[in-house]
Chains A and B, each alone.
Chain A
């Protein structure tokens, strides 16, 4: 069970400003159903760019709902300029803190707010200007640097907890570490948190498996009129589906085990187990 503060529980159980403003002046939408959390924020501003109303709709866990609720409470009465300065730390702080694995919920709030403000002003989000470092979650270097500074992050794992960057395929981890070191120059590198080797996440595995399939495995199968598709990855189990000539081939099971599994173990992870999807 997560340890939630009273404030989180309050905002979760009795959220403020649920709904959608009709004819909103600004709308910010982030997240998706598949990701497990999503937020739609709508705001209304007066002639002096003061936010007069804010409403939200959120799909997600308690911390996602509480972050959205407290955010709407915070920004009503602020000018757009003031609201633009609200950080995810501000949101988390107003909630009395969030479990570290849930910090991205507060970041989701800040992102939706930025999107709504940009929409209000009819401008393109400034963050999109940076260089995308995490392709899986579309996080730019500017966003990472900002999170490092605002939240005094000291490890790649923390960057992932706050921005989700690196939580997908993990290819950007080295780059994230570089950014981290460059951003916190004042701190000697050896004082950065020592990180233990991480287990590959499912998304990381999927990315690497897809690459290996495309580069090393499909060409061989296609020569014989067959093909292979990745269906799912569950722990170390890789579910694939054979296509074309492979489906009627009596040697397909041998192909899977002797060829595909061996290759994937060699190229991706030596504990992978390949099986055919139903």
Chain B
């Protein structure tokens, strides 16, 4: 079944998920085989596993500039997001307003959309608009805050464009108004230096599989003293903040991934940024009628989202797949819905361009040879599809 081997692919879809680092696999393995004890048990066989979870908590806290007891392990980024928002709404039952943005990941977008039916109470949701380059207007943000705002939830970095929002300032503004602040930092953790001790952030979500740990593990940072209502109620695991026996191996792996990210971030970012820029500049130069989606500098170092006009994203991706190049598209056909990406639409990207958008997201495992390979293959793919397009006029 697995006939597409990892060594064959040029993997540029790291915002979808990442390769598990070999160091992470190595750290996880003992907990999938020999050390299967329950961390809550009284015997030493389980207790030593509990110690491994404690260490992982310290490693995650270390990367974020947080205290270990401010970290709660969850099953994914989505769970962390839901936990934060629903906790805030339950902590302040008379506040029924949420401020967020129009470009959030579905984990936040669809949660906010369904708040009324989920909670049985009527809510007001303000979604801040973005400019054409995907950035926010802080004046509009200030205006949106009101006495009845329970929580602000703004992603740190956008998964489709990589655009970074000014979280430090936005969190400070929220606190000036006495409002809780959550950030979905799933794409930011490991790529942007974060020091929560110095920030007014109350909740932060992260997900293991975006930073070279395993799928199915995430974490939620909850600032000390912040009112908290659990999402999963059950046993006393995670000090009662999240019931359910711990996903020990993945948690241990997440700890190692965080430590690795912290140690190598600057160096890796520089390498990845160089590769990304080489790819981006090369593509924009080699392919006419191509354009960058999103702010050029306020952006993750690994992401570039480029629209190739007059061609359709699914067709592009399948041609790339022929050369084992992995990426994503914001086109309608790839999602199975009838509309292109809500992020690109919020940015006012015209339909002609949104249908033909490709997101390349790199990692430290990419090489210059791979970038050059993609640069060699992309222009003919686009040219071939355009030659077939009734809308393309050579000029």
A interface residue numbers (CB < 8 A to B): 2, 9, 12-13, 15, 18, 29, 33-34, 36-40, 57-62, 64-65, 101, 167, 201-203, 232, 234-237, 257, 271, 273, 275, 277-278
Contact = CB atoms under 8 A, between A and B. Distances in A.
A62 B126 contact: no
Contacts, number: 93
A75 to B, nearest CB: 18
B65 interface: no
A29 B131 CA distance: 36
A38 B113 contact: no
B102 interface: yes
Which one of A64, A167, A278 has the highest number of Cβ atoms from chain B below 10 Å of its Cβ?
Answer: A278
Interface residues of B, number: 42
Given A59-B310, A61-B312, A235-B110, A18 B387 contact: yes
B172 interface: no
20 contacts: A12-B318, A15-B388, A36-B340, A36-B355, A39-B390, A57-B388, A58-B390, A59-B310, A59-B311, A60-B333, A61-B315, A61-B331, A62-B318, A65-B315, A101-B336, A202-B339, A203-B338, A234-B345, A235-B113, A271-B114
Interface string B118-141: 000000111101110000010010
B35 interface: no
Main SS of the interface on chain A? Answer: mixed
A237 B312 contact: no
A201 B338 contact: yes
Contacts of B109: 235
A40 B390 contact: yes
B391 interface: yes
Nearest first, the 7 closest Cβ-Cβ pairs linking A and B are: A278-B129, A61-B333, A57-B390, A61-B314, A40-B390, A59-B389, A236-B113
A201 B332 CA distance: 14
Nearest to A31: B390
B127 A59 contact: no
B391 A271 contact: no
A57 B312 CA distance: 13
Interface in B324-363: 331-333, 336, 338-340, 342, 345-346, 351-352, 355
B355 A58 contact: no
A188 B333 CA distance: 36
Contact of A36 (B117, B331, B342, B387): B331
B318 A237 contact: no
A273 B113 contact: yes
A275 B388 CA distance: 40
A62 B113 CA distance: 33
Contacts of A60: 312, 315, 333
A15 B387 CA distance: 12
A28 to B, nearest CB: 11
B369 to A, nearest CB: 24
Contacts of B102: 234, 237
Contacts of A15: 388
Contacts of A62: 314-315, 318
A33 B315 contact: no
B392 to A, nearest CB: 8
A115 B116 CA distance: 49
A237 B114 CA distance: 11
Contacts of B352: 33
Nearest to B128: A278
B113 A59 contact: no
